[in-house]
Structure 1
C-alpha cells in the first residue's frame, strides 16, 4: 500500500479549553507509562500533574490557561496525538508548529526525547508565567471568506509602528497566524491598539488570556533564563525534518545542534514567529498529500487553512473553495475533530 505523505503541525498555547477537559484520559489510555513519567516530573517540581489537570472536575480558566499548566497539558496531548498517527498508512515528511508548538515539533521530530521536550516546554512555560511580561491580542487582515482585505495588513502594521513609537508604549508583531496577526506588547501599547482600531467581525481585537508578549524583545530575560537552565546537550539529531518559525528547514541527521538550541531559546523567543512561512515551505518544498494538525482543540485548523489559501495550495482560493475541496477529499485533517481523527489514527 502506498503511504500518504503528510506534514504534521503542532498547536501552541490557547488550544486546551473547556471542551478539551479530559481529552488525554479519553483518547490516550495506551500512553499511561509516558504520562506517569510526565506526572512524576511535575510532582517533583511541586506542580500539579498533567493527569490531575486533565482529570479535574471542571475547567477553570485561571488555572488551566496559566503558562506553567497549559504548556504541559498541550504538549502531552499533542505529543500523544503524534504517537497515535498510523505509520503504516502515513509517511511523515516534516513536523512544524505554531509558537509553543515548535517545542512539541522538536520532540515529535526526535530532536528532543519525550522527557526532554517536557523539560523545555515546562521550563519555558513556567518562566513565562513567573514573569508574565506584557500580553497579546489578535486581529484579522482577511475577510470572512478568508481572502486578504486590500491594504489591511499594511494598516495594521502602520498602527502598530505608530503606537510602538510613543513614549511608554511597546507593540510589535508576535505571530503571523494565517489570516490574522498576533500583536504583543505592554499594557499601554495593547490598550492603545484596542481603542484606536475598528472592531472586526464583532470580536476583534481580541485579548488573549494569560498570554505574555511572546516572540518579542520583551521576552529577552525569559530567553536568557531558558538558555541558562536548558543545555544544548538535551538536543539530538532529528529523525524527521523540522520547519521552524522562519520557514527554515532542518534536515534529519544534518543539523548543527548548537544552532538549533540557539534558535529555539534565542530567536524563536524574542523575534516574530511566522507560521505562514513554515507552511509555505511545507507546501512548496515538500509537496505533501495532506496536512495533519495535532490536538488538543480545533482552533489552529482555520489558521493553517488560511495560510494554505494564501500560498495557493491545491488551488484553494477562499473559505468556500476550501470547504468544497474538503468535502471531496480531506486534505487538512485536524485530530481534534473526531471524523478527521479517525482518518489518521
Structure 2
C-alpha cells in the first residue's frame, strides 16, 4: 500500500446548486442535516433537496448548503477510509475554512453551523446595505492586477483584491462601477474580467458591518484545540491551538483569501503529497492543478467519487 500524507480542502460559496443533496441522501452521514438544522433553525433537508437554484444564490442559504454537504462528504470519506494515507492538515476556501475547522476538531458541528448561519446572514445584510459585486481577472499576473487595483483606488475607485486563487486567477471586489471599469482596463495588463454572480463585495472593507456582527457572535462560542493544523485564509499559515481563530475568522471577512499561498503551504512545509477536495463541485481541484500541474488531487463531490478501496492501495 502506498501511504502518502494527505491534506483536506473544502470549497466555499458559489459551488451550490439545486438538488445538491440528492446523491448523499441515502448515506449514513445524511443524519448531519438534522444536527445542522437544529443548530441553525433552517430545514437543511429541504434546502439540499428541493430549494431552487435561484433561492440558493442567497448568501446565507448558499453557505449553509455548501457547509453541510462538505461535512457529509468528509464524514463519508472517513467512513470509507478513502484518503489513502494519514491526514496531516486541512484548509478551506472562504466559507470552507469553517468546514476545515470542524474537520480538524476546532469546532463542533453545532457551533460551526451556528457560526456559518450568523456569518451568512451578516454578509447578506452588509451587502444589502451597500451594493457591491466581484469579478475574476484571468490571464493577468497578480502583480499587474495589484498595480491596476492600486491605481484605481488612488483615483478614488472602491475596489480591492478579494481572492488570490491561482496563477492567472485573481478575484476583485468592490463597487459595481469600479468592477465595470476594471473590466474595461483589464486588457491593458493582458487580462480579462469575468463577472461573478454574487450578492456583494465579499472579502473587502465593505464587509466591515458583517465582521462586527460575527465578532459579537464569537464572544459566545468557543474553539477547541485542533487535532490537525488548519491553514488560515488570511496569512496562509497553519495553526492549531493558539487561541486566535476567532480573530482570524473576523479578519477573513474583510481580507483577501490567499488560496494559492495556502495550497503551497499544504504541499510545502506541511508535506501533503495528496489533496482531497470534499464538497460540491471541483473548483478547488482546478485551482490546485493551476498551482501544481502534476498535483495528486481527488475530488469527492458525490458518493460515486469515493474510491472502492483506499486511494493509493495496490
The TM-score range, normalised by the shorter chain, is 0.7 to 0.9
**1:337 Cα deviation (Å)?**
6.9
Whole-angstrom distance in 2 between the partners of 1:25 and 1:4 = 32
Aligned mates of 1:40, 1:200 — CA distance in 2: 49
Which structure 2 residue ranges, 5 or more long, are not aligned? none
- Alignment partners' CA distance in 2, 1:108 and 1:138: 29
* Alpha carbons 1:163, 1:171 under 8 Å: kept: yes
2:186 touches 2:192 (CA, 8 Å); kept in 1?
Answer: no
Normalised by the length of structure 2, the TM-score is 0.87
Separation in 2 of the partners of 1:222 and 1:16? Answer: 22
Mapped to 2, the partners of 1:16 and 1:199 lie a distance apart of 33
Which of 192, 195, 198 is equivalent to 2:184? 195
Matched, 1:154 2:143: yes
Which residue in the other structure is 1:303 paired with?
287
- Contact preservation (8 Å) 2:24, 2:303: no
- Pick the aligned partner of 1:282 from 235, 244, 266: 266
SS of aligned partner of 2:253 = helix
Aligned partners of 1:298 and 1:337 also within 8 Å = no
Aligned to 2:248: 263
Where do 4+ consecutive residues of structure 1 move more than 6 Å?
Answer: none
Paired positions, count: 301
- 2:99 aligned with 1:107, yes or no? no
Normalised to the residue count of structure 1, the TM-score between the two structures is: 0.80
Assess if the C-alpha contact under 8 Å between 2:163 and 2:256 holds in 1: yes
1:72 aligns with one of 49, 53, 64: 64
Q: CA 1:338/1:51 → structure 2, altered by over 3 Å: closer, same or farther?
A: closer
Task: Tell me: higher relative CO, structure 1 or 2? Use CA pairs within 8 A at least 6 residues apart.
Answer: 2
Q: 1:342 pairs with 288, 307, 310, which one?
A: 307
Q: Which residue of 2 aligns with 1:24?
A: 21
CA distance, structure 1, for counterparts of residue 25 and residue 249 of structure 2: 28
Q: State the partner residue of 2:115.
A: 120
Q: Deviations over 1:253-309 (max 9, x none)?
A: xx122x1111111x2121111011111111111222311011211222111211224
Judged with a 3 Å threshold, the aligned counterparts in structure 2 of structure 1 residues 64 and 199 are, in CA distance, closer, same or farther, namely farther
Question: Deviation digits for residues 92-131 of structure 1, max 9, x if unmatched?
Answer: 1111011111111111111110011111111101111122
Pair 1:231 & 2:235 matched? no
Task: Provide the rounded CA distance (Å) in 1 between the counterparts of 2:201 and 2:125.
Answer: 13
Task: Output the CA distance in 1 between the equivalents of 2:61 and 2:188.
Answer: 31
Query: In 2, distance between residues paired with 1:55 and 1:200?
Result: 43
Gap runs ≥5 in structure 1: 142-148, 310-315, 317-321, 323-330
The corresponding residue for 2:298 is 333
The question of whether the paired residues in 1 share the 8 Å contact of 2:137 and 2:192 is answered with: yes
